[in-house]
Homo-oligomer: A and B are copies of this chain.
Amino acid sequence: MKDFTYYTPTEVVFGRRSEERIARLVRRYGGTKVLLHYGGGSAERSGLLASIRSQLAAEGIGCVELGGVVPNPRLSKVREGVALCRAEGVDFLLAVGGGSVIDSAKAIAYGIPYDGDVWDFFAGQAQAEVCIPLGAVVTIPAAGSEMSNGCVITNEEGWQKRGYSSQLARCRFAVMNPERTFTLPPYQTACGVTDILMHTMERYFSPEVDMTLTDAIAEALMRTVIDAAPEVLARPDDYRHRAQIMWAGSLAHNDLTGCGNVGDWATHHLEHELSALFDVAHGAGLAAVWGSWARYVYRTNPARFARFAVNVLHVENDFTDPERTALAGIAAMERFYRSIGMPTSIPELIGRPATEAEIVEMARKCSLDGSSTEGSFRELDRADMEAVYRLANGGN
């Protein structure tokens, strides 16, 4: 069992009336001039932004705005935010949206007080020492960025998608009203569900597996999400099941489901190259590659995959043949993904097979030109990465 640190200082305010408290939360955490940061038009159309603006004005909190954050949030927008916040004297960032907006806000928060270029953190050339405080109003449950210590940004020069993590950018608060997720399109809902599950699975498939409480909590979370997903796809305004998914999104990525484990994260990194190259939704990319990763690595610890199959997916345990149980679990997970409209291969993801050159290029970037490996459940080198991409592409 790995020693661990568990640090989740974010004050979560969850429920139907949570949004009434946004401006007071900003005030409590020291904000006097806010950057209101958001994505497209849905937060405007729903009236959420208008409500926040009037709340902030009533509290006497200044506000400048920067919208237009896109999925796989861009470095150029982050740089724009840094410049704007410096010019306007912003002292608090308020992200309204999902993981892309929150991640963009985190990157801006690092960038404002930093002397150099903010990409330095993502390129591994600098460590942040300070960070502007931020809070989140979550409208898309998926990335869990509202309670996580990480953020992922895409640099348009070379389409590099890279993450940076530190405790500094943990949100001071996260406001979560499941009603806001009623209007999410089915595909986006399913992508979120996939991301939430994968955040848990990346931690669950660990080379160290003796923290049984962590396992049991992770399995409980995965079962709950798998159970809730078809309910909200059938009835988008099902508050109860929307709430399960929303809360699971935070707990799946605030480290609770990994205490004592060593995370794997190979699937995430394989996916980052897919979404960097093809600009696909992160959740869909994860679903497209996970089954192939699983079939490639499961023999490292078939018992672990058998446990996953039985405890998460209710697969009948073949006690005489853990490998058979393991494979049945992988197949059941892929059936679940397909049942919620997610792809389970690269051709389903991008509408055609990837070319061999694209596969080679993704593995090259993922392995940093072959200098680095990914994964801990089983360590994958550049050749392994190519092999997983080929499997996901329909090969053997």
- Chain A residues close to B by CB (< 8 Å): 1-9, 11-18, 210-214, 216-217, 219-221, 223-224, 227-228, 239-240, 243-244, 247-248, 251, 256, 259-260
Q: Is the CB of A7 within 8 A of B2?
A: no
Contacts of A256 in B (CB 8 A): 256
Contacts of A11 in B (CB 8 A): 5-7, 9
Q: Is the CB of A14 within 8 A of B5?
A: yes
Contacts of A211 in B (CB 8 A): 243-244, 247
**Given A12-B7, A247-B259, A259-B14, is A1 in contact with B216 using a C-beta cutoff of 8 Å?**
no
Q: Is the CB of B259 within 8 A of A1?
A: no
Copies in the complex: 2
Complex CA distance for A35 and B22, rounded to whole angstroms: 37
Complex CA distance for A247 and B228, rounded to whole angstroms: 28
Of listed A14, A221, A239, residue having the most chain B CB within 10 A: A14
Contacts of A227 in B (CB 8 A): 212
Q: Is the CB of A221 within 8 A of B210?
A: no
Q: Is the CB of A8 within 8 A of B5?
A: no
Contacts of A1 in B (CB 8 A): 15, 239-240, 243
Query: How near does chain B come to A15, taking the closest CB pair, in angstroms?
Result: 3
* A-B CB contact pairs (8 Å), 19 listed: A1-B15, A3-B15, A3-B16, A3-B17, A3-B18, A4-B15, A5-B13, A6-B11, A7-B11, A211-B247, A212-B224, A212-B228, A212-B240, A213-B220, A213-B224, A214-B247, A216-B223, A217-B217, A247-B259
Question: Nearest chain-B residue to A260 (Cβ)?
Answer: B243
**Given A6-B14, A15-B3, is A216 in contact with B212 using a C-beta cutoff of 8 Å?**
no
Query: How near does chain B come to A295, taking the closest CB pair, in angstroms?
Result: 28
